[in-house]
Amino acid sequence: MAGIDPEAATQPPARDRLYVYVLTGIVLGALFGWLDPEHAQEMKPLGDVFVKAIKMLIAPIVFTAVATGIASAGDLKKVGRVGLKALVYFEVMTTVALLIGLLVVHLLQPGAGIHADASSMDTTQLDATTHGREAQTFVQHLVGIVPDSFLGAFVGSEVLPVLFLACLFGSALAGMGTRGKVVLGGLDQIGFVFFKVLGIVMRAAPFGAFGAMAYTVGHFGIESLGNLMKLMLGFYATALLFVFFGLGTVCAIVGVKITSLLRYLKDELLIVLGTSSSESVLPRLMDKMTALGCGPEVVRLVVPTGYSFNLDGTSIYLTMAAIFVAQALDVELSLGDELALLAVLLLTSKGAAAVSGGGFVTLAATLQSTGTIPVAGLSLLLGVDRFMSEARALTNMVGNAVATLAVSKWEGQLDVELARRMLGDGPPLPSPVVREPQIVRDPSGPANDDEAPRSGDAP
C-alpha cells in the first residue's frame, strides 16, 4: 500500500506515544467539562476541526490505496472474489450483532416502567437533530455509490463513491500494460505524500480528543443520564459481549487473540473514544492491518467497504434503542413485528454513516418506515445518544479490524505467524545480528600482530 511504514505504524518511538497523549486529553477534557461546563462547551471546535482534517484526507488516501492495489494485483477475478467474501462476512456478523442486541434488551428491559406518552412529547429538539439528515434506504444507498461526477466523489463525505471510482481507475490501469505502470508509480508516490500529511495531522489528536470530550461532558452533564443509565450501561455491556465473544470467536478461528488485537490497536481505540468517529482512524487502521500480515489487496477493499457495510456497533445500538423506545411507550410488539423490524434494520444498518450521530438518524428512518413504534419516542434518547456513540464507533472499528483478518485468512493471504509475533503471542521478531567490529588494517603497515610494535619497543 502506498505510504505504509510498518515499523512506524506498530512501534512508535518513545517521544511519540500517541495513546498516552490522547488518553491525557480525554481525561483533562472530561474534568474540564465537569468543573466548568459553560466554558467546556466552547472547546467543541477543537474536536470538530480535528475530525474534519482527518475526513479531508480519507478520500485521496482510499482512492490511491485501492487504485494502486488493484493495478498492482492485475488479477481482477481475485479482486471480485475478495469483495464477495467480504460482503458475505459483513452480512453474517451484522445479523449476529442485531440478534445479540435484541436478546439483551429483552433481558434487561431498560424501558419498562417509564410509561411515556408519545403524544405529549416535545419533538423540537428531535427535529433539530435530524433536520437535513435523512437516512437512505438500501436501494438509495447503492444508487448513491455512483457519483454525479468524478470530482464529485471527493467533495462529499461518503467513502463508497470514492471506492467505486478507485476500482474503475485501478482496473483501467491494470489493463494498460507498460503505460499503466508509469501512472501507477506516480499514483503510489502521491499516496505516500498523503500518508505523510496524515502523520502531521495526527499530532493534533490529543487536542481533538480534549475538545470533543470537554464539550460532551459540559453540554450533556452527568445528571442528564437519569433513568436512562440502565440502557447506556446495557449497551456498553452488550458491545463488550459482542467484541470479546462474537469477534473473539472469529479471532480464535483465525488464530489470534482478541485481547492482543485490542492492545495492538490501543492508539486507534483511544482516538475513536475521544472523537466518537471511527472514520478518524481509517487510514491508520489500513496501515496497521497490513503491517499485521493481512494481504494488502484485502486490506484495501475490506476496510473502506466495511465502514459502510460492517457497522456492528451501530447494529447493536439500533435494535436496543428501538426496543427501548417501544418498552418506554408501552408499545406491545409481536414476534412478527420484531422480525419485520430486524428485516428493515438489516437493510438500513448498511446505509448508516460511520460518523457520530449517523446511527440516530438511521434509527429515526427505520421507525418511520415500520410504523409500529412512534418516532417521537426517540426524544427519550437525546440525552444519552452522544454517550453511546463512543461505544458504537469503537465496536465498528474493532469489527472492521477483525473482518480484515477473517477475509485475509479466508482468502489465504494472512501471515498468521507474523500476526502472532506482532501481537506478542508468538516468538519475538528476530533482532538484527550485532557483529564484532572488524579491525581495518593499513595495507602498508605490519602484516600480523607479531610484527606490530609493542609498548616497550624502541621506535
Distance CA 189, CA 142 (A): 31
Q: What percent of the chain has pLDDT over 90?
A: 13
The answer, yes or no, to whether residue 38 has pLDDT greater than 80, is yes
Q: What is the pLDDT of residues 292-334, one digit of tens each?
A: 999 888 888 888 888 777 888 888 888 888 888 888 888 888 8
Mean pLDDT, rounded, of the chain: 75
Burial 98-111 (b: 16+ CB within 10 A, else e): bebbbebbeebebb
260 to each of 215, 266, 390, how far by Cα in Å?
32, 10, 21
More confident: 205 or 358 = 205
pLDDT band at residue 12 using 50, 70 and 90 as cut-offs: very low
pLDDT band at residue 255 using 50, 70 and 90 as cut-offs: very high
Amino acid at residue number 156: G
Q: How many angstroms from the chain centroid is the CA of residue 335?
A: 33
pLDDT band at residue 443 using 50, 70 and 90 as cut-offs: very low
DSSP alpha helix (H) spans, 221-334: 229-241, 248-254, 258-264, 266-275, 282-291, 296-309, 312-328
Q: What is the pLDDT of residue 408?
A: 93
* Best mean pLDDT range from 202-206, 317-321, 341-345, 447-451: 317-321
Q: What is the pLDDT of residue 450?
A: 45
Q: What is the pLDDT of residue 220?
A: 62
Structural domains in the chain plus CATH codes: 6-422 (1.10.3860.10)
Write the CB contacts of 158 (distance below 8 Å, at least 6 apart in sequence): 144, 308
